[in-house]
């Protein structure tokens, strides 16, 4: 009789980051909708390059650093540090829509988790402004439930990439097969980003993907839109 396969500790994370978890991630394109309209992203290769830059030099890299820092704050039982990371994460939003994207999802995630997957860390994260950045809420929950940081960062990165590939499908930029090819091609970038973030500090925050930040600003005044960002 063969031995049973070991349990996967991060299994709950696949629930929290699934399209069915009620955070409304499907409603946000992270500026991709404007990038498609202006011609910056018009095929699978351009989409892959756009997303790879976010992992290497842009917003996803920063979000992973903030997630990791929140995780460490909870592990250290440092509420002040956690609140400071949350305030910084919100302040770093480069546009009104990016602010909405991170706060709306963060608040929704925290509320759903408190009702269905409660832990002390999420109670600690209650703020006077009632604004919680999404990666900070995730980092707190991951630490609060005793999950591993490295694999959680990879799972978060994969969920982010999958959501924007789904947005590209709905914008008719790519088909389903190309979507899977893009995700497969991004796996090394996702792993590199997670590996870096796991060893990072707040001093590593920064970005150089200005076109993506501009896209989030331009989307605010885009005439016809499917997405909230």
The verdict on residue 221 lying in a domain is no
- pLDDT value at position 122? 86
Those residues whose C-beta lies under 8 Å from the C-beta of residue 64, and which sit 6 or more positions away, are 135, 153, 156, 157, 193, 194, 196, 197, 200
The verdict on residue 19 lying in a domain is no
Assign 3-class secondary structure to 205-218. CCCCCHHHHHHHHH
The verdict on residue 16 lying in a domain is no
**Which CATH number fits the domain that encloses residue 102?**
1.10.4190.10
Nearest CA to 199 out of 55, 69, 53 is that of 69
At 129, is the pLDDT very low, low, confident or very high (cuts 50, 70, 90)? Answer: low
**Cα dihedral 161, 138, 147, 202 in deg (nearest 10):** 90
What are the tokens at 88?
């910084």
Lowest mean pLDDT among 61-65, 121-125, 154-158, 175-179: 121-125
Indicate the angle between helix axes 44-57 and 149-170, nearest 10 degrees: 150
39-75, pLDDT tens digit by residue? 999 999 999 999 999 999 999 999 999 999 999 999 9
The verdict on residue 225 lying in a domain is no
Segment 126-145 mean pLDDT: 89
The verdict on residue 164 lying in a domain is yes
- pLDDT value at position 1? 46
Rounded to two decimals, what is the model's pTM?
A: 0.95
Range of the domain at 119: 30-216
160-209, pLDDT tens digit by residue? 999 999 999 999 999 999 999 999 999 999 999 999 999 999 999 999 99
What are the tokens at 156?
């978060």
pLDDT(13) > 50: yes
- pLDDT value at position 149? 96
pLDDT(114) > 60: yes
- pLDDT value at position 95? 95
The verdict on residue 65 lying in a domain is yes
What are the tokens at 80?
């002040």
pLDDT(4) > 70: no
At 148, is the pLDDT very low, low, confident or very high (cuts 50, 70, 90)? Answer: very high
- pLDDT value at position 9? 73
- What's the structural domain count of the chain? 1
The verdict on residue 88 lying in a domain is yes
- pLDDT value at position 126? 73
Mean pLDDT over the full length of the chain: 94
């Amino acid at each position: 009789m063969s031995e049973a396969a070991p349990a996967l500790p991060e299994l709950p994370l696949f629930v929290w980051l699934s399209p069915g978890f009620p955070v409304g991630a499907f409603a946000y394109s992270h500026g991709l909708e404007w990038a498609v309209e202006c011609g910056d992203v018009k095929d699978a290769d351009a989409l892959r390059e756009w997303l790879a830059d976010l992992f290497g030099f842009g917003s996803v890299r920063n979000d992973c650093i903030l997630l990791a820092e929140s995780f460490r704050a909870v592990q250290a039982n440092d509420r002040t540090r956690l609140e400071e990371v949350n305030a910084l994460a919100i302040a770093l939003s480069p546009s009104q829509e990016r602010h909405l994207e991170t706060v709306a999802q963060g608040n929704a995630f925290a509320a759903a988790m408190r009702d269905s997957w409660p832990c002390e860390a999420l109670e600690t994260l209650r703020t006077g402004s009632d604004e919680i950045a999404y990666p900070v809420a995730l980092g707190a929950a991951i630490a609060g439930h005793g999950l591993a940081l490295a694999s959680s960062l990879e799972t978060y990165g994969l969920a982010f990439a999958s959501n924007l590939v789904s947005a590209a499908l709905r914008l008719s930029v790519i088909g389903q097969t190309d979507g899977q090819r893009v995700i497969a091609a991004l796996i090394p970038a996702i792993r590199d980003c997670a590996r870096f973030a796991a060893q990072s500090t707040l001093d590593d925050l920064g970005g150089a993907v200005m076109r993506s930040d501009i896209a989030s600003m331009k989307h605010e005044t885009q005439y016809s839109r499917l997405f909230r960002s």
